[in-house]
Amino acid sequence: MVRPVLGVDSADSYHALVEQVIAGGGLAGVTRLLADMLGLPAAIANEEFEPMYAFAPRGKHLPAEDATLPVGLRDRIAFDLDRTPRASTDPPTLLLAAGDRHFAVAPVVLPTGILAYVWVADPSGQLSPRTRRVVSHAAAASTLELVRQRAIVEGESRVRSSFLEDLLTSPITSINSTRRRARFLGYDLTSQQVIVALDLDNFSTYIDEHGIDENGIQRLKERFRRSFDASMPAIWSQTLVWEHSDALVILAPVAPETDPQALTRRVEALRSAVEARLKGPSISAGVGRSYDDLRSLKDSYLEAEHALRIGAVVSGPSTTSAFDDLGAYRLLYHLREHSELDVFYEETAGALERYDESHGTDLLLTLQTFLSLHGNLTQTARRLHLHRNGLLYRLARIEAIAGCDLDDPSQRLAFQLAILARPLLSRKPLLHPLNRLSSNGSQPHE
């Protein structure tokens, strides 16, 4: 059995742990000293309980299985910070048991909430009041270290964010000067670049439904950024990020030979990873075109914003949309607030929509499928699970109700445009996969 460090009582432990922070030992130094003070395995983990540092006494690294809290134990960890006004400097400590192992767990608390957890484990089940106090002191010292780290990161982040905002919103007077500024920030602007926008879906509705106050909104936005920072290294080696309102605007390098669909799939992998980590509102992504010319990055930014907005309307939340794959939606989106588009839809497809609503039929869906398959009767009947004669009857009913001739190419085109415009006019999109953009931005095929 490893004996605790002698000569350091609980009153002195806080000073010793803080001195470790001041000396530059960081979270690793705090955790190592905690293990030595108590003669017990100690660990610090992020808010998702993923270990950052874990040591046995005498500076030995803990194996992964000993550095992780048991899953069932994590579900029992809850702190009422509203009743602990000094939680940052005097964190509460929970004593919990999992099998024959006993744990003392304390939160690392910042004004925005819990950012990490500190714990020690004792197989003897004899955690003393001193252990509880020392673990609390270690959590308080860790708070100081994380505040210091956050100040550094936020300072760098503000500089990088400000640079990207200037790049996308202000005139570029010198390409060489702009690239030099980017190099100072550790970013290479000599290659092809793309802008990606990540946004929290229906953010205002989400915070209203969940009763989130201003502090909660700030915490959610910080979690959004941390989720992005944790997910990005597996997708891109370097990026610049501009925190713009509720969105993250990302500048990323793209190899010249990159296939646009492969780029969209890469962004979708990032979007889904961030959404999974956030465990809050869903997230959507918009992808602009990639450019060599720095002055064209403003266009990539606008394209990403348009793709984000159009994708949200057409495909719904939790999707990735690329500007290059939006097709006619790029034109129709700008007409959505013009009454002429509503009039066009009403004159073209309005009668079919009203007939479906009053009779419980799917004539508009039948027409959409028929047009998407280029008028191929065999494929349309197979897709809709109809006999050919049944499909012919439906098409005849469509022509009679809409007063149209589906053999006329111009009238077919009019119906295709009307069906595309439908979700942009705040009407429900047709409940069919052909109406939704797939994750790679193209229309899916069965």
pLDDT in tens, 121-177: 988 877 888 899 999 999 999 999 988 888 887 788 889 999 999 999 999 999 999
- The alpha carbon of residue 159 and the mean position of all alpha carbons in its chain are separated, in whole angstroms, by 22
Closest CA relative to residue 283, chosen from 343, 228, 352:
228
Could you tell me the residue ranges of all domains in the chain?
Answer: 10-149, 171-326, 335-435
- pLDDT given at position 85: 65
pLDDT exceeds 50 at position 438:
no
The angle at the Cα of 118, spanning 117 to 121, to the nearest 5 degrees, equals 125
The residue with greater pLDDT, 334 or 317, is: 317
Question: Using an 8 Å Cβ cutoff, are 359 and 352 in contact?
Answer: no
d(CA 304, CA 444): 21
Q: Where are the alpha helices (DSSP H) in 185-296?
A: 203-209, 214-231, 260-278
CATH of domain 171-326: 3.30.70.270
Mean pLDDT of 96-112: 86
DSSP 170: S
Please write the tens of the pLDDT for every residue from 168-226: 999 999 999 999 999 988 899 999 999 999 999 999 899 999 999 888 898 899 899 98
> For residues 290, 295, 296 and 299, what is the CA-based torsion angle, rounded to 10 degrees?
120
- pLDDT given at position 240: 95
- pLDDT given at position 105: 93
- The alpha carbon of residue 339 and the mean position of all alpha carbons in its chain are separated, in whole angstroms, by 35
Structure tokens at 13: 């432990």
The residue with greater pLDDT, 55 or 443, is: 55
- pLDDT given at position 423: 80
pLDDT exceeds 80 at position 373:
yes
Structure tokens at 85: 């006004």
The 3-state DSSP class for residue 109 equals strand
Question: Using an 8 Å Cβ cutoff, are 321 and 310 in contact?
Answer: yes
Question: Using an 8 Å Cβ cutoff, are 193 and 297 in contact?
Answer: yes
| 29-35, Cβ contacts within 8 angstroms, sequence gap of 24 or more | 30/118, 30/138, 30/141, 30/142, 30/145, 31/55, 31/118, 31/138, 32/59, 33/138, 34/118, 34/120, 34/134, 34/135, 34/138, 35/59, 35/120
Mean pLDDT (the chain) is: 87
What are the residues whose beta carbons fall under 8 Å from the beta carbon of 60, sequence distance 6 or more?
Answer: none
Rg (CA), the chain: 29
pLDDT exceeds 80 at position 81:
no
Closest CA relative to residue 294, chosen from 155, 176, 123:
176
- pLDDT given at position 10: 57
The pTM assigned to this predicted structure is: 0.65
3-state helix/strand/coil string of 52-100: EEEEEHHHEECCHHHHCCCHHHHCCCCCCHHHCCCCCCCCCCEEEEECC
The residue with greater pLDDT, 314 or 105, is: 105
pLDDT exceeds 60 at position 340:
yes
The correct answer on CATH 3.40.640.10 for the domain covering 10-149 is no
Structure tokens at 284: 């959507």
Closest CA relative to residue 309, chosen from 410, 446, 437:
437
d(CA 412, CA 341): 17
- pLDDT given at position 330: 80
| 11 pLDDT tier (thresholds 50, 70, 90) | low
Q: What share of the chain is helix, strand, coil (3-state, %, to 5)?
A: 55, 15, 30
Please write the tens of the pLDDT for every residue from 268-312: 999 999 999 999 999 999 999 999 999 999 999 999 998 998 888
The residue with greater pLDDT, 433 or 400, is: 400
pLDDT exceeds 70 at position 9:
no
| 444 pLDDT tier (thresholds 50, 70, 90) | very low
- pLDDT given at position 88: 80
* Alpha-carbon distances, residue 349 vs 154, 353, 404 (angstroms): 53, 6, 10
- pLDDT given at position 370: 93
Please write the tens of the pLDDT for every residue from 84-95: 666 788 898 989
Question: Using an 8 Å Cβ cutoff, are 416 and 371 in contact?
Answer: yes
Structure tokens at 329: 């939606």
Element (H, E) at 365: helix 363-372
d(CA 110, CA 5): 29
The correct answer on CATH 1.10.510.10 for the domain covering 335-435 is no
